[in-house]
Amino acid sequence: MAVNRMFRTCPTTGLVFHQPAEQLIKANAVAGVVFLLIGGILAIGVVLTRWPAVHLLPADRFYQVLTAHGLDMLIFWVIFFEIAVLYFCSSTLLKARLATPRMAWAAFGLMVLGALMNNYSVTRGDSSVMMTSYAPMGAHWTFYLGLILFAVGALVACFVFFGTLVVAKGERTYIGSVPLVTFGAITAAIIAVFTIASGAIILIPTLLWSVGLISHIDPLMYRTIWWAFGHSSQQINVAAHISVWYAIAAIVFGAKPLSERVSRSAFLLYILFLQLASAHHLLADPGLSSNWKIFNTSYAMYLAVLASMVHGLTVPGAIEVAQREKGYNQGLFEWLRKAPWGNPVFSGMFISLIGFGFLGGISGVMMGTEQLNLITHNTLYVPGHFHATVVIGTTLAFMALTYFLIPVLFRREIMFPAMAKWQPYVFGLGMAGVALFLMAAGTLGVPRRDWDITFAGNTFPYEFPGSAFLMLGLAGISGLIAIVGGAMYLLNTVGSVFLGRKIATPGFRHVRATEGVASAQKPVAQPSTVAAAITGHGGRIGAWGLVAPGTFSLAMVFLVSFVLYYFINWKYLATVWPLR
């Protein structure tokens, strides 16, 4: 059994890598980055066409490019990287061998095949149906088959992850419970299984329909089940990037959760209250009752919102405590001022957290309110919102993690450290502009997925106000800044991974782990020190009886913005035509 027992210990961090796991993490991360590159090139076409003054592409090309941008970014880039995160959180953090590496490679192969097949279908030109592919608008069968293959691959990868947890438990590679970050990854993987099942339920009949074996697909049923897949996959992203936040807080600051109980319960809420969160995509649809909509948005969503609000406090709170214990205990914000803002691992993570909460979170709750949805549904507000969640939130968190993984996993030096230092700011601020200006255009009624909002040549055109055009122009400029930020990331990661200076590893050797405990375990802490570590810092740090008063005040700022913005929108709603 020697083949499956190859481990190496990272001399810098002490992390233990199982060799097959290490290769799989690399392969999945690299595949993800390739799709980020493709999606990023397509973003140039999208953003320059939606900037009315430039209006780069013709209509058919624009819709084709937008379809591919959505799929390559939201599905292929994000999920490939998430699989890498799952393997890292199981095999590496638990110091366990990866279960069935062969299956994991098969999963990877299926995912690559599926992603390529789906991209091929979009290049054909007859499948510009957007990633949502709402029936009865149909795409070529390779569009659906590609997505199904990709999903099956991702499902197999989730089971490899679960298998690795079983291996770790069976071989007792860790003591007690799994680390919080692994716990978060487990949440993500459980949600993924539910998500992929919904995806199969809707995509398999649609595939059969596309080749003529089924005659009719009900459009409302399609939307309901599609969003059970489409929305819960966003929940995977949230669980995954919050795990990454916790991991980065631990890596950069040695931060420990304020309390394991709260953070873990918050992850559990994501699983428990996920079911029909798809409802908030259907708020403007006929044929569904208000009771159904309210129940499924609030039961299923607000408790997930609660969970995110909790993580939004506990992650920076943990950092604050760690910083204060290091001596940055002055005032409310010394801990934050003295944080390593030049380290992209930290700055990326922190911008991700702030952007996700303030821009993505608040706008998402507003739109997801049954009646408020009327004034935002299908406008540019929607892409504005999710570029804050899935780009500033998920993508930027993954980018930050990459800067940690390049030296640790790939054993290469970052090629352009100065560029790395600036990249999270360029990308984060550019994307914040995209999110804000798209939301502003949406508030003015500008539709999403629309090639030409001047409606030139239409018999009955509608003229949007000049401010809408201004917002689209600003979104265009911000988009270019974000694309530059994305290019900085890609250049640096690809350059470092393939051409970067190798980091010498003195005394590097592959440790052959015996059956049982993989590597030397640290002794469990003594109960007395444990108690001190938990119940508090004996009033030594913080203020107002709180260990993290700075984070708490930031949370209050967040709450006030949230409340104000939420009620402003009710006020706006109250001015539109009465309807019932």
Closest CA to 517 of 178, 177, 174: 174
Query: Which CB sits closer to other proteins, 94 or 391?
Result: 94
Query: Which CB sits closer to other proteins, 498 or 568?
Result: 568
479 binds, among other proteins, ligand HEM, none (CB under 5 to 8 A by kind): ligand HEM
Pairing assessment for the beta strands 16-18 and 510-512 based on DSSP bridges = unpaired
- For other proteins, which residue of 74, 225, 483, 547 counts as binding (CB under 8 A)? 547
SS3 state at 511: strand
CA separation for the pair 341, 336 (Å, rounded): 9
Q: How far is the CB of 499 from other proteins (least distance, A)?
A: 29
> If binding is defined by CB under 8 A, does position 561 make contact with other proteins?
no
Cβ-Cβ contacts under 8 Å for 210 (sequence gap 6 or more): 138, 139, 140, 141, 143, 144
Query: Which residue type occupies 61?
Result: R
Look up residue 500 and give its DSSP letter: S
Instruction: Note whether 332 and 553 are within 8 A (CB).
Output: yes
Residues 457-486 that bind other proteins (CB under 8 A): 457-465
Instruction: Note whether 475 and 51 are within 8 A (CB).
Output: yes
546 binds, among ligand HEM, other proteins, none (CB under 5 to 8 A by kind): other proteins
- For other proteins, which residue of 36, 46, 189, 249 counts as binding (CB under 8 A)? 249
Place of tokens 């990661």: 493
Tokens matching residue 423: 């990249």
> If binding is defined by CB under 8 A, does position 240 make contact with other proteins?
no
465 binds, among ligand HEM, other proteins, none (CB under 5 to 8 A by kind): other proteins
Query: Which CB sits closer to ligand HEM, 66 or 151?
Result: 66
Query: Which CB sits closer to other proteins, 130 or 400?
Result: 130
SS3 state at 447: strand
> If binding is defined by CB under 6 A, does position 442 make contact with ligand HEM?
no
Q: How far is the CB of 360 from ligand HEM (least distance, A)?
A: 12
State phi, psi for 379 to the nearest 5 degrees: -90, 175
> If binding is defined by CB under 8 A, does position 369 make contact with other proteins?
yes
Residues 396-455 that bind other proteins (CB under 8 A): 443-445, 447-453, 455
Q: How far is the CB of 324 from ligand HEM (least distance, A)?
A: 34
460: region left, alpha or beta (phi > 0 left; psi from -120 to 50 alpha): beta
SS3 state at 258: coil
482 binds, among ligand HEM, other proteins, none (CB under 5 to 8 A by kind): ligand HEM
576 binds, among ligand HEM, other proteins, none (CB under 5 to 8 A by kind): other proteins
> If binding is defined by CB under 6 A, does position 5 make contact with ligand HEM?
no
Residues 25-64 that bind ligand HEM (CB under 6 A): 40, 43, 46-47, 50
Query: Which CB sits closer to ligand HEM, 83 or 554?
Result: 83
Count of other CB atoms within 10 angstroms of residue 356: 27
Closest CA to 108 of 38, 72, 151, 157: 157
Instruction: Note whether 387 and 431 are within 8 A (CB).
Output: yes
- For other proteins, which residue of 104, 251, 353, 435 counts as binding (CB under 8 A)? 251
Report CA-CA distances (Å) from 288 to 219, 285, 303.
Answer: 13, 7, 22
Q: How far is the CB of 65 from other proteins (least distance, A)?
A: 13
- For other proteins, which residue of 54, 166, 214, 220 counts as binding (CB under 8 A)? 220
> If binding is defined by CB under 6 A, does position 482 make contact with ligand HEM?
yes
Residues 99-158 that bind other proteins (CB under 8 A): 128, 130, 134, 136-137
Query: Which residue type occupies 21?
Result: A
Rounded-to-10 torsion of CA 9, 10, 16, 18: -80
> If binding is defined by CB under 6 A, does position 94 make contact with ligand HEM?
no
> If binding is defined by CB under 6 A, does position 474 make contact with ligand HEM?
no
> If binding is defined by CB under 8 A, does position 178 make contact with other proteins?
yes
> If binding is defined by CB under 8 A, does position 546 make contact with other proteins?
yes
Cβ-Cβ contacts under 8 Å for 489 (sequence gap 6 or more): 399, 402, 423, 427
Residues 386-405 that bind ligand HEM (CB under 6 A): 387, 390-391, 395
Instruction: Note whether 485 and 467 are within 8 A (CB).
Output: no
How many residues lie near ligand HEM (CB under 6 A)?
27
**How many CA atoms are closer than 13 Å to the CA of 509, on its beta-carbon side?**
4
Handedness of CA 14, 19, 20, 25 (dihedral sign): positive
Query: Which CB sits closer to other proteins, 109 or 219?
Result: 219
Query: Which CB sits closer to ligand HEM, 46 or 471?
Result: 46
Instruction: Note whether 124 and 130 are within 8 A (CB).
Output: no
Place of tokens 């819709």: 63
Residues 130-159 that bind ligand HEM (CB under 6 A): 130-131
CA separation for the pair 91, 87 (Å, rounded): 6
CA separation for the pair 95, 165 (Å, rounded): 10
> If binding is defined by CB under 6 A, does position 69 make contact with ligand HEM?
yes
Rounded-to-10 torsion of CA 205, 208, 214, 217: 40
> If binding is defined by CB under 8 A, does position 164 make contact with other proteins?
no
Q: How far is the CB of 107 from other proteins (least distance, A)?
A: 24
Q: How far is the CB of 513 from other proteins (least distance, A)?
A: 18
Closest CA to 143 of 114, 169, 112, 121: 121
- For ligand HEM, which residue of 20, 383, 442, 549 counts as binding (CB under 6 A)? 383
Catalog residues that contact ligand HEM under the rule CB under 6 A.
Answer: 40, 43, 46-47, 50, 66, 69-70, 73-74, 77-78, 130-131, 383, 387, 390-391, 395, 434, 448-450, 479, 482-483, 486
